[in-house]
Structures are given as C-alpha cells and as structure tokens.
Structure 1
Amino acid sequence: MRPILLKPVLVWILTLIVTFTYAQTRSETRYDRQEVLITMRDGIRLNTVIFTPKTAREPLPFLFRRTPYGVSKAPFPDQSSYTNHMADEGYIFVAQDIRGRYKSEGTFEMQRFSRDPANPKAIDESTDTYDTIEWLLKNSPNNNGKVGMYGTSYDGWTSVMGAIDPHPALKAISEHASPADMWIGDDFHHQGAFRLSYGFEYAFMEEAAKTDTLFPFNTYDTYDWYLKLGSLANVNKKHFLGKLPSWNDFAKHPNYDQFWQKQSLITRLGKPKVAIQNVAGWWDQEDFYGPIKAYQLWEKGDDKQQNHLIVGPWNHGGWAGGDGRKLGNIRFDTTTSSTFRQYMLAPWFSYHLKGKGDGKFAEVTSFQTGSNQWKTYTQWPPAEAVKRNLYFRANGQLSFEKPTDAAGADRYVSDPAHPVPYRPRPIEETYGPGSRWYAWLTEDQRFVHNRPDVLAWQTEPLTEDVAVTGTLLARLFAATTGSDADWVVKLIDVYPENYPKEPKMAGYQFMVANDVLRGRFHRSFEKPQALQPNKTETFTVDLHSLDHVFRKGHRIMVQVQSTWFPLIDRNPQRYVPNIFEASDADFQQATHTIFRSAAFPSHLELSVLPR
C-alpha cells in the first residue's frame, strides 16, 4: 500500500517543480534582472535588484521598495501575488537592501533618526531614497521619470521616509502598516506597556547578525521560557550581554522621552508632498496603530486631497497575499485581499505614475466587518458617528444605561507569577515553525473567560444591529492594593449559541478591539507616577479605531485583565522607576478593583453609526 500512497504525492511534487520552473522561465523571458551596488552621497553602497520588462511599448515608471529583509532572492514581479496586477500594467520594479542589512554596506540602525538638514553631509533613509532614485533615473533606460514607493511594515516605513523629503520624481507612495510610534501603539510598546516577546525576538532577529536570525529557544512553549527568564534585567545579564542596540534602547528609555518622540512620525510628518495611500488591517498583530495615525498626521496639512486611508479585515501583511476571504476562524464572505490589490493598489499607481483612470479615490475606504461589506467615508472617524457609552453593571451585565447604584465594584487578584496567556498555549516562537502569531487576534477568547483574574461583562442578546464605526476608548475607574498596575481591555463580539450558518462558531468570543495601558502613565507618558494604594483613579485606555457591526442576536462583551503574557512584560505591581531594572523580589500579587457605580461608572465610549 505504501507505494500507492506515495505516487500521488510524487506527482504533486513534480507538478509543483514543473509549474515553478515554467513560471521562472516565463518571468525570465519577460524581465531583465540586474543586481547592482548603488553609491550613496557618503560613499556607502546599497545592494539593489532591478527588474526591467523586455518588451515595453512605452517609457515606464519605477515601483521602488526598500527593506531590511533581503532582496537578492526576491521573486520576479509577476510571480508575487503582491505585485502581479501591477506587473501586468507594466513597471520597472526595484528592491533595495537598506544600510547594514544583507548585501548593503554601512551600519544598520533600527528606524534611523532623520538627519539634521543643516548638515549637508548627514544621511538618513530619506537621503538614501533620494540618491537611489537619482541613480535610477540616469542609469535605467526607457523610464518615464516617475517613481512610486510601496511596502509593508518596515518597508512601509521606508516608503514614508522617502516621502518626507522626496525626490521630485517620487509622485506617490502606498505605505502598508508603517509603524508611527514604537512607544505609544506599534511593535515595541502599547501605551507604556512593553511588548516583551516581540521586542525581544525582533531585536535579536535584526541585530544579532546582518541577516534575519531566530533566537535559539530551548523550550517550544515560550510562555514557560519567558516566565523562567524572570526580571527583564536578566536579558542582558544572561543573553544579549549589552550587544543589541535596540534592547539597550528599550532598557535606557522606559518612558516616552526624547528618544521615542524623535523616532515617532508625530515629530516627522507635516504637509503631504506626494500622493499617499495609507493601508491598515483591523487585526494587524504588529502595526495597526501606525498607518491610521500616519493618515491622521498627514491629514492636518492635506490641502490638496492627496492623503487617503484604506482599512481591511487583515492581519499584518494580509493584503499582500491570498484572497482574504477569512482570517483564522473568521469569514468575510468576499475576496478582500485580492480586491484590494486589483482595484485599489494597482489603480493608485496606474493613475499617479501613468495618468490612467479618473483619479477619484475615496478619502477613506473601510471593510466593515459583521456586515462584511466595503464602505467609504469622507473622513476618519466619520462625522456621522455619535458617541454612546456602554457601562459595566452588576452581575456581569453590560448596558447602554448608566448605573444608578451608590456603590458597586468587581475585584480580582493579579499574580505576576501566574500571568494570563495572550493566546492559547503553547505559545510558539513569534516567527518560528508552526507559529500561530499571525492570526492570534481572532482567537476565541473563551480560553480565558471565567479565569478568576479576568473580569467580564456582557449585554443581553442584541435586538438590533449596532454599528461601531470610529474611535473608541475605555474609561476605567479603578484602584489597586499595589503601586502600579496594567489594564488590558478587550471588546468582544459574542456569537449566538445557536448559529446554524456555521455551527462550530456558536458562542464564539471574537475580539474586535483591544489594548493595554500601564497604570503609571495614566496622567503622563513622559512622567510616570506611582499609584497610591487603594485610591480610585481614572484610567483611559485608547482602543483606537473600529468598523464592526454587532449583529442582532449577538452579545457585546468587555473583558478586563492585568496580565497578557508574554506579549506584554509582567508589571511588578510594585512601583520601580525602571521596570527593566526591577529585581525578581519586586514582583508581587495585588488586588485590583473596577468600580461600576453612579459616581464611578466604568464604561466604553463607542462611536456608533445611526441606523
């Protein structure tokens, strides 16, 4: 029986080999591939791959991507779902290793600071972009003198850097998931809480060698590994030994000081100088905050209507591959990713670099989940949305009616020695084999529901649809027996227990928005303060943006907890000036209280579209 079972597998493998070989040969027939070192103004040479169509009927524009992740093995443009629609249109595709990465010379700096414009010899990512474009225009024949930039994550950020002080030939960018602020809302921190597993593993991956390198964990379930690590002070003592610049920066700058502010787009972006398409994913596990914040920053000076926003139901990079019909267990009933690539991304560059199309791009295009349909808005958040408060009530109830009780509270004990996992265990290495990192934001939250250190409130089944569209905040009136605390808030769509459309989704707790605030920063990100034990304070947790319909028959749930491990480092719950220097003895249990009375009405502030 064994040979019979193997035969289809062998046929499948041979088919893949033949298909790939045919595609590679076809691409080589269509493109000339050139790999060159381009000299920057300070003499450093950057490795650059150029794909030029062989049979162009007209001068072509460039589509340019700059990355720390290596370009020498980049596929031909027509072999990548990310670029194949644009390849059909016809462009000269260019990909470049940024300084100090892979085959490029120089020193890598994580999110390199912008140069001092008064120093003519200074360099940054913007000057490297400018110098490369200048070289391309002079050395790539049959170009039309126009350039567009695109890319996801770090590549999105380099596109933004290119647009800050752009070469005159740079006409448009499409930045996808660019981080905007690494302390307030993107990869490394969220509102002061350090993103431990991501910060640790990404710093090692990018800085331990010139090429991407995974940390050699000796435990498959990294929850156990990080718990045994103990205090963050042990990272340099036992593992990094002070050799990784980014980790050293984390440890030196625990607060929102000049280092983080200077790195942020908040201090870098002004009036748009090129056409900008900002692209975000509602369940981007790395940089959801960034592109929406970038849109908002550019929007302040957008007097030519050049700045646009697109948000879809994607994880980090989900727009670049696949058809986007589902994410994890959540189905969207339509091809969201391929729709974006064909009808939003490709026409964007076709208009701005080739003059094709009418150029009528919606100000904001959003895929509204729950209703599962694309929507357009004239601004973000939409002006027509109204604020409605959703209050915590007694007996785990959630209601749009404000509590009238003179007293009322719910309590739980938070123990740093037994933290709540952020997703079902085992928690694999972020980018390691079999990792479920990519869709964890859509995981069923029943895996922590009814834990004694996770509080939950929910509505009765809804009698009508509720469309939450726009910004949302959690306002917690809370106290702790400790002198510091983290507050994690999750907004959840609870499916009906009877769900014939998809029975396995019955009762599913789908997290549609979430974030965390480190309590010491509840008054100031720049100047943290110890919490006074047992004193009621107001903690505002920014849950950012949402466009989701809670359908009739569903329930709305809110969960609150104080550990989210190892995504977020453990708060000792005893105030220390710098948690990166805390000792293992500083970690203690604390009792946290969430109030829900007339005087202290903890609630979510939602933006709701009128029916």
Structure 2
Amino acid sequence: MKPYFFLLLSLTVGLNTWAQESIPESRYEKKSVMIPMRDGIKLHTVIFLPKESQEPLPFLLSRTPYGVADAAFPERSQPELAREGFIFVKQDIRGRYLSEGKFEMLRMTRDPIVPNSIDESTDTYDTIDWLLKNIANNNGKAGIFGVSYDGWTSMMALIDPHPALKAVSEQATPADWFINDDMHHNGAFRLSYGFDYAFMEEAGKTDTLFPFDTYDNYEWYLRLGPLSNVNAKYFKNTIPTWNNFVNHPNYDAFWKKQSLLHRFENRPLTVPTQHVAGWYDQEDFAGPLFMYELLEKKDRNKLNYIVIGPWNHGGWSRGEGSSLGNLQFGVPTAKNYRENLQLTWFNYHLKGKGDGQFAEATIFQTGANKWKNYNSWTPKQAVQQALYFHPNGKLSFEKPVPSTTNLFDAFISDPANPVPYRSRPIEQTYGPGSRWRTWMTEDQRFVHHRPDVLSWETNVLENDVTISGKVLAQLYASTSASDADWIVKLIDVHPDMVKENRQMSGYQQMVAADVLRGRFRKGFETPLPVKPNEVNAYTVDLLQADHVFKKGHKIMVQVQSTWFPLIDRNPQKFVPNIFLAKESDYVKAEHRVYRSGGYASRVDVMVVK
C-alpha cells in the first residue's frame, strides 16, 4: 500500500472558509474545506473546480491516509481525466493529516444499529452528500477511485453506497492482510514491509520513516534477531498494527472481520466496479484478483470488470508504462490504460459518453507483450497441465516414472543465513535509493546456484507455451525440524544470447512466485507442527499469470525456504507464536522435495493451445 508523501501546508479551514490558490496554466481552481460527518468530526478535503464549464460535471473522489493539502493540480496528477473535465475531490481520511478524529488502520465496518456509528463507508456517503448540496454546477453523479489504501477506501464506499455513486475503480486494493497482500502471504509474515508500514502510518499523524542506522536492511533485520525484539527494543507497544500482528498470529476473528472477503461475502454488487491490478505489484496484487473473483460470483448485471497490466504498485497511474526495471513491453501500457480504459470508464458511467461495451477482462499478456480481451477471467479455453520435477534438475510436462531410488532433492535451510529476496544491499522500503518498486522484475540468477535454492528447468522450448490463469505449486516435502516455509518461483529463462538486447541474455524472469508457511498447510486458523522427516503435501498458491514462454526460452521452477527480509525467518522449530519466539528456537534443518511416484511435486498451470 504504497504511500505518497506530501509537505503539509499551514491551513486553517472551516466549513464555510475556503483557502484558494491557482496556478497560471491550470484550468482548475483549488479550494479546501472541512466537511462534517454524521458524528460531528470534520474531514479535510481539497476540491479542484473547473474555472469554466458549460455543463454540469460529476465528482471524482479519492480518499487517502497520505495527505492531500499539497495535492497537485489535475493537469499534473490526472492529465487524461483533467482534459475531459471533472470536479476532482481529494480527502484526508479520518485521523490523518488535517482531518479530525482518530485513525484506525483498515477501519472495521460499523454496526449499523448503533446510532451515529461510522466507518469509511459512512464517511464516503456523508462526503458525497455534502458535495451534492454545496458544490454548484454538479450533475448529481460521483465516482471514486484510487491506488492501494485509496483503492481500499474505494471498495469501502460500496458497503453502503450513496445513490449518487455511479462508478468505482478500485486499483490495487488489499483484500485480506493474512491470506495475501501487504502484511502476510499465506500466513507468512512480510517483515520488511509490515515493520516499515506500521511504523510509518502509526508513529505519528503524518508519514514517518523508521530511522534505520544500517543502510542494508538485510543486515539490520538479521541483527534484530527474533521478532520479540521489535517491541522490546523499538516500538515499546506503541504501534497498534504491530501489536495486532503479535496478538493475532493465526487467521482468527480479528483478521476475518478486517478482510474485504468477509465484509463482501454476502453483499450484492450494485455499482459498476473496475478492478485494476499489476503483474509486478510488489504490494497488492492479490486484492483486485480476489475481489473480482468474489463479486463475479454474484454479478448478474454485468457490473464487475478486471484489468491487469505489466505494472508495479500503482504503475498504471504514472508515466508511459513501456518498461519496468529491465523488462521492455514495446507499448505505453500505463498511458493506454489511462486513456482507453480509465477515462472511458468514468466518461460512460458519469457523463453518459460512449457505448459502455467494456471487455469482461482486459489483460496484458507478458512474454508476447500484447493486450488481450477475454469474455471471462480466467479464460474458459485454458486447460490445466502439470510441470513435474525430475532428477538432475529437469522439468517436464511428462509425469515421472515410479522409482525406488533418487526420490528427492534436498538442501539445508539455515535461519542464520537466509536467502535474500533481492540483490543486496536491500534498501529501506521507502527510503533513499530503494529498488523496492522493481524487485519483482529482478534477474533471479543472483540466487540460482545457492545451495539452499533448488532449481528445475525444461529443455529449450520448441514452440511457444502460453499460460493464462491460476498457478498452483503442489509440493511433497519433508523437514528434519517441525516447521518450514516453502517459496516457489515460476521463471521464464531467456536464451543464452539475445543479440538485440544483450542484458536479457540468460535472464531469469520471475513470472509468478509466493510462499506458504508450513504450519498452515491444513488451514490458516489452526497452526500444526510438522512431524520431522514425514512427507507432507503443501499447496502454494502462486496466484495468476498470463504469459507466453517463447520458443527458444526455457521454463524454470525454483524452490527455497527463506526469502529475507521480505518474509520473516521461520524458526523451523514449531512454536505457538513466531512473534514471541526466542533466539534458541531458530534451528538449521534439512528440507527434502520429493518428485517420484505418489509424491510427484509439480506446478499446475493453465495452458492455452
């Protein structure tokens, strides 16, 4: 949930007091107001009004915890939408920056029977209601959109939508902080992000970076030792979200109540909603996929749509989008989205322009580097096939023959020497020089020959292989200890020599990757120790891909048990709560991945012929 930093202006504002400013080149007038909510709290709101408009215009609302006082004029922040003409409204959510009230991370949904109870949905409702009554020359319609936390507030507007809310574009919303997205992936804690983000949002009313005294965060987190040292040495129990991590190590009622999956489980979709995701989103890739899939089950009126492009977190909202890291796409994908998908979406639903014929799923197919329109996501024509692990590091669509020898590949996993998730030094997530935004595009050769990373790869492909849809790793594995993490990466290996772009020669491009904490192999509610040396089945959800492995490339799978400090170190000795583990709980272990007979480990992909 990437924050956007702003310098605060010293403003004294009230309900009827407007602070005006303008820039010579802008067609918009910027005004600030405090909008009252039903419980009397006032929220700081910046409104950009077109100076000249011949027609009533709709509102485009964004609600954020990242500060709006210094928000850029629309020509700079949303030039494609600004040229068309909307009334832009940006708001500090409750308890952040210049808004009154108390901030609560991912505020829980209110109990509607409690008088004047509030949540982000009621704050959105009250804001729209005030705008309709107090801003002249509006057409009675509103849309809401935003990236990350702002995408989450966009989804929360749907809990109890105002009748004037006619269009939503949630972009990279988190859906469930334990199952996936920012803070956990399949029960494994995302240490470097969770630590940084919790401090940044809750150490003060404005964004505050943690003062690391070591540039390489890999080294800092390793020296930190067990997670129990965080409160003991640094946070001192003052960061509510960190305390929630410590107090809720399993998928309990707290996480379920916070999850959008549970909030929307029994709610019909009544407002047209566009879900936007990026294949290389380092923070919230799963949220839009999960919410699209959940709402699609009950979409009877064609209100639910999805867009996925080759972007990192929020990459569609800025720049051209013709490249990311070392990857080149050949077309301005972000600009395409803003002009042809986002603008068209709001023009139709808020202004009645266009024919409203939106593709169910608009997906950028990586590898082939082209946009695809699908009638369903995932495509019905895709057929599941398995990529099996074989001896000698071979990977194949052919199932291995039964054998009584050479049944597994093994490695030693040492929590004292974890595998880094990107090349070192690992800069602070949002600190100076950070490469956080592009790490998912990084060449995986930097860990390829580590003894604690297993690899299997196909022969050179004689034909293109296209996968579209879900990617699931089915591992059969054992450990000499009583717990283990399992990280699986599906990789596109480029040819040994790429003459037209030599830096891509032999490049190991990550297509999909994720982790499963072994204690949660049978469910996230109840952790279970692993019996030492017993073979267990582990299903690692790698989410989705739409990718063409081109002729002349190879397909690779890597398996490892540490991914540091993206994921905290599993002690590998089972303890009830890893956040309270002691240094002595961290032990070396031998892990085995089986690949024969009834224990044929594989990665299941959806292949399109």
Same fold (TM over 0.5): yes
**Does residue 278 of the first structure (1) align with residue 311 of the second (2)?**
no
Other-structure match for 2:57: 60
Other-structure match for 2:456: 457
Other-structure match for 1:494: 493
Other-structure match for 2:232: 237
**Does residue 580 of the first structure (1) align with residue 592 of the second (2)?**
no
Query: SS of the residue aligned with 2:104?
Result: coil
- What amino acid is aligned across from residue 363 of structure 2 in structure 1? S
Other-structure match for 1:208: 203
Contact 1:271-1:300 within 8 A present in 2 as well: no
Q: How big is each residue's C-alpha offset from its partner over 1:109-161, in whole Å with a ceiling of 9 and x where there is no partner?
A: 11000001222321000000000001000000000000000000000000000
Shift of residue 293, structure 1, vs aligned partner: 0.6
Choose the corresponding residue for 2:392, options 391, 395, 404.
Answer: 395
**Does residue 102 of the first structure (1) align with residue 97 of the second (2)?**
yes
- What amino acid is aligned across from residue 495 of structure 1 in structure 2? H
- What amino acid is aligned across from residue 185 of structure 2 in structure 1? H
- What amino acid is aligned across from residue 200 of structure 1 in structure 2? F
- What amino acid is aligned across from residue 225 of structure 1 in structure 2? W
d(CA) in 2 for partners of 1:108 and 1:24? 32
Contact 1:494-1:509 within 8 A present in 2 as well: yes
Q: How big is each residue's C-alpha offset from its partner over 1:301-341, in whole Å with a ceiling of 9 and x where there is no partner?
A: 11000000000000001001110111100111111000000
Choose the corresponding residue for 1:91, options 86, 91, 98.
Answer: 86
Query: SS of the residue aligned with 2:226?
Result: coil
Shift of residue 417, structure 1, vs aligned partner: 0.3
Other-structure match for 1:531: 530
Other-structure match for 2:45: 48
Of 493-502 and 225-234, deviating more is 493-502
Contact 1:406-1:599 within 8 A present in 2 as well: no
1:412-423 superposed matches below 5 A: 412-423=411-422
Query: SS of the residue aligned with 1:163?
Result: coil
**Identical-residue share of aligned pairs (%):** 61
**Does residue 160 of the first structure (1) align with residue 158 of the second (2)?**
no
d(CA) in 2 for partners of 1:79 and 1:499? 38
Query: SS of the residue aligned with 1:159?
Result: helix
**Does residue 335 of the first structure (1) align with residue 332 of the second (2)?**
yes
The structure with the largest helix share of the pair is 1
Contact 1:164-1:273 within 8 A present in 2 as well: no
Other-structure match for 2:177: 182
Query: SS of the residue aligned with 2:221?
Result: helix
Q: Structure 1: give runs of 5+ residues left out of the alignment.
A: 1-22
d(CA) in 2 for partners of 1:62 and 1:72? 18
d(CA) in 2 for partners of 1:167 and 1:413? 56
1:458-473 superposed matches below 5 A: 458-473=457-472
1:324-473 superposed matches below 5 A: 324-407=321-404, 408-473=407-472
**Does residue 519 of the first structure (1) align with residue 514 of the second (2)?**
no
Q: How big is each residue's C-alpha offset from its partner over 1:207-238, in whole Å with a ceiling of 9 and x where there is no partner?
A: 00100010000000010000000000000000
Shift of residue 24, structure 1, vs aligned partner: 3.5
1:543-562 superposed matches below 5 A: 543-562=542-561
TM-score (structure 2 length as normaliser): 0.95
d(CA) in 2 for partners of 1:335 and 1:49? 30
Q: How big is each residue's C-alpha offset from its partner over 1:156-201, in whole Å with a ceiling of 9 and x where there is no partner?
A: 0000001221000000011100001111110000000000000000
- What amino acid is aligned across from residue 306 of structure 1 in structure 2? L
Choose the corresponding residue for 1:295, options 292, 295, 299.
Answer: 292
Query: SS of the residue aligned with 2:140?
Result: strand
Shift of residue 503, structure 1, vs aligned partner: 1.3
- Give RMSD over aligned pairs: 0.8
Other-structure match for 2:30: 33
**Does residue 130 of the first structure (1) align with residue 129 of the second (2)?**
no
Choose the corresponding residue for 1:264, options 259, 262, 268.
Answer: 259
Query: SS of the residue aligned with 2:255?
Result: helix
Shift of residue 256, structure 1, vs aligned partner: 0.6
- What amino acid is aligned across from residue 190 of structure 1 in structure 2? H
d(CA) in 2 for partners of 1:387 and 1:299? 21
Query: SS of the residue aligned with 2:24?
Result: helix
Other-structure match for 1:148: 143
d(CA) in 2 for partners of 1:593 and 1:357? 57
d(CA) in 2 for partners of 1:75 and 1:413? 52
- What amino acid is aligned across from residue 566 of structure 1 in structure 2? P
- What amino acid is aligned across from residue 98 of structure 1 in structure 2? I
